[in-house]
Amino acid sequence: MLKTKKILTLICASLVLSACGGGGGGGSSSGPTSVVVSGNVSFEDVPHDPVTLGLDYAASFSAPARRVVVQAVNSSTGAVLDQDLTDDSGDYSLSVGSNVTMFIRARAQLQSPSNSAATWNVAVTDNTGGNALYVLDGPNFNSGESNRIEDLFAASGWDMATSRYVDERAAAPFAILDAVYEAVSSFVAVDSDINFPDLEVRWSENNSPVGNGTAADLAAGRISTSFFSPSEDVIYILGAQDFDTDEYDSHVIAHEWGHYFEDVISRSDSIGGSHSITSLLDMRVAMSEGWGNAVSGIVLNDPIYIDSSQVSQSRGFFIDVEENNNLNRGWFNEGSVQSIIYDIYDGLPFANSDISENSDTLDGGLARIYQTFTSDNYVNSPLVTSIHLFLDEYKFLFANQSLAIDILAAGQDILVNDAIGTGENNDGGNSLTLPVYYLITLGQSQEFCVINDFGSFNRLGNRRFFLLEGLTQDLYNIRVARTMGATATDPDFFVLQQGQAINGSLSGVLNVEDANLSLPAGDLVFEVYDDLNTDSCFTLTVTTAL
């Protein structure tokens, strides 16, 4: 056991190893020129209490730090003498010069082996400390002239007597990496050539559930919630004790990693915002959040999603991602999305449900889910991401499972005739939310309504979608005009290509939005909404500009 264990942050936070060291070390002229220093790296993991759903520190256990970077560092010069990756047991082995004063460093960095066709590189950094990398350093020692063992253990820092963190929370970065490793290895198992872009996970004990998402807030730890930032390709994780810590909430970490997967390997068009498993959501948000919940259960092989919080992290809540008896079931509900995707994965009926899901006829597993999410038809579809798009593509790829998919979707009050939801009759309780897409043509004036019955910004009915197929590249006039409802409205619109805005008009002019825009050839989606969030009706007209 180490007499001293400490977690440090480095000035260098680069994911490129060579940026943080190099060099060599001396040896004895009369004895062996090199020796082997080996050992084990582990961290204190904290499970959840099955009753309170909070963290159960009394049941903490030692877990191996798997596939993390370990270095032998010259104590005098800081030069890296050798480095290795721990194996799945947390073991490492380093060759160093004899009689060198040195220490062993475990970096909070998960990396693929050099002989792996699949690649990944994940680092945990401190957003409140200049995004410096967390490392665990052992004590100084002389390498001597014979092989030796040096173990490293990252403690949680929790004091049972005071029910508080009183020491450095050295285990936290390695607990985060462990959840990420479960996710990465699950997908490597179904695609041995997968290449994950570099990922940075920013955690700090100062990361609290307040703030507005500004750069200054994030740097100060006011991160609002654990979340994935697509603009940075960075995950932020809460760490404020007595409020909300997520470093041991593996499902939360895997959920956010799921958003990273969507962004860099598949596709997500989510507009974000608040959500819950009972909310009636914009279909893009429902798809993304349902996927995040489902994939956390898949990669952790546990459908029970637990999130701890409150004083001493002593309470929490859970979601059973396999639950089929969801409230507000439909194509707009993340609970429906998560249960469908998880049921495709596990192929087993949910014993406690009173809804027949017929999922025992499915044998999709993660491999077929992965194939669907990465298929050309899904990634490059002109439509926005939704459960209709996903299931339609799944049925196309695996036609022998079409009937089972239809039955499974019907159990969530979803009808999958095609990717645009043709024939869908689940309106969430307001007929103005259908159809899922309007099919429009040049010169046609299509009347539609927007509502705020279920909330504003990212809720069902806030935004309406129109598909215009077969455009040629030209200058077009797009006009949205109020017809009834609130007397003061502010209609705005985006033109979407493969789910991303390529043009739009957000003028702020009351009751009408009128713009001439150059549009590319192909199939385009128009997303129209009222920026004032009223219950109102409009017409959309697209014509060739004169």
pLDDT at 28 over 90: no
Burial class (CB in 10 A: 0-12, 13-18, 19+), 312: middle
User: What is the residue whose two structure tokens read 């990634």?
Assistant: 379
Q: Where are the alpha helices (DSSP H) in 274-313?
A: 283-299
Share of the chain above pLDDT 70, in %: 91
Which of these, 424, 411, 495, 480, lies nearest to 448 by C-alpha position?
A: 480
- Give the pLDDT confidence of 520-539 residue by residue, as tens digits: 999 999 999 999 999 999 99
List, in order, residues 6 or more apart from 513 with CB less than 8 Å away.
478, 479, 480, 491, 492, 493, 505, 506, 507
Calpha distance 534→489 (Å, rounded): 7
Tell me the pLDDT of the chain averaged across its residues.
93
E strand or H helix that includes residue 79: none
Share of the chain above pLDDT 90, in %: 90
Calpha distance 15→31 (Å, rounded): 37
* Longest alpha-carbon distance in the chain: 94
Tokens of 329: 């079931």
Burial class (CB in 10 A: 0-12, 13-18, 19+), 343: buried
Position 361 scores a pLDDT of 56
Tokens of 119: 């690649």
- Give the pLDDT confidence of 87-127 residue by residue, as tens digits: 999 999 999 999 999 999 999 999 999 999 999 999 999 99
Position 30 scores a pLDDT of 66
pLDDT at 25 over 90: no
Q: Beta strands of 77-223 (E only): which ranges?
A: 80-85, 91-97, 101-111, 121-126, 132-137, 141-142, 148-149, 152-154, 158-159, 164-165, 199-203
pTM to 2 decimal places? 0.93
Q: Where are the alpha helices (DSSP H) in 195-282?
A: 215-220, 250-264
Calpha distance 311→162 (Å, rounded): 12
List, in order, residues 6 or more apart from 431 with CB less than 8 Å away.
none
List, in order, residues 6 or more apart from 47 with CB less than 8 Å away.
55, 56, 59, 60, 61, 248
- Give the pLDDT confidence of 478-505 residue by residue, as tens digits: 999 999 999 999 999 999 999 999 999 9
Q: At what angle do helices 387-397 and 283-299 cross, to 10 degrees?
A: 60
- Give the pLDDT confidence of 279-310 residue by residue, as tens digits: 999 999 999 999 999 999 999 999 999 999 99
Query: pLDDT grade, residue 29 (50/70/90)?
Result: low
Q: Is 33 helix (H, G, I), strand (E, B) or coil?
A: coil
Position 481 scores a pLDDT of 98
User: What is the residue whose two structure tokens read 């030796």?
Assistant: 148
Tokens of 42: 């582990």
Calpha distance 496→522 (Å, rounded): 11
User: What is the residue whose two structure tokens read 């969801």?
Assistant: 326
What value does the mean pLDDT take over residues 181-205?
98
Position 422 scores a pLDDT of 98
Q: Is 468 helix (H, G, I), strand (E, B) or coil?
A: strand
Query: pLDDT grade, residue 364 (50/70/90)?
Result: confident
| Cα separation values, 388 from 33, 384, 392, 401, 470, Å | 65, 10, 6, 15, 22
Position 31 scores a pLDDT of 77
pLDDT at 360 over 50: no
Residue ranges and CATH numbers for the domains of the chain are 6-265 (no CATH), 431-546 (2.60.120.380)
- Give the pLDDT confidence of 406-445 residue by residue, as tens digits: 999 999 999 999 999 999 999 999 999 999 999 999 999 9
- Give the pLDDT confidence of 32-83 residue by residue, as tens digits: 999 999 999 999 999 999 999 999 999 999 999 999 999 999 999 999 999 9
Asked if residues 343 and 408 have their Cβ atoms less than 8 Å apart, the reply is yes
Q: At what angle do helices 283-299 and 250-264 cross, to 10 degrees?
A: 120
Buried b (16+ CB within 10 A) or exposed e, 461-500: bbbbbbbbeebeeeebebbbebeebeeebbbbbbbbbbbe
Q: Is 301 helix (H, G, I), strand (E, B) or coil?
A: coil
Q: How many helices (H) and strands (E) does the chain have?
A: 9, 30
How many CA atoms does the CB half-sphere of 522 hold within 13 Å? 15
pLDDT at 13 over 50: no
Q: Is 83 helix (H, G, I), strand (E, B) or coil?
A: strand
Calpha distance 361→364 (Å, rounded): 10
Position 349 scores a pLDDT of 52
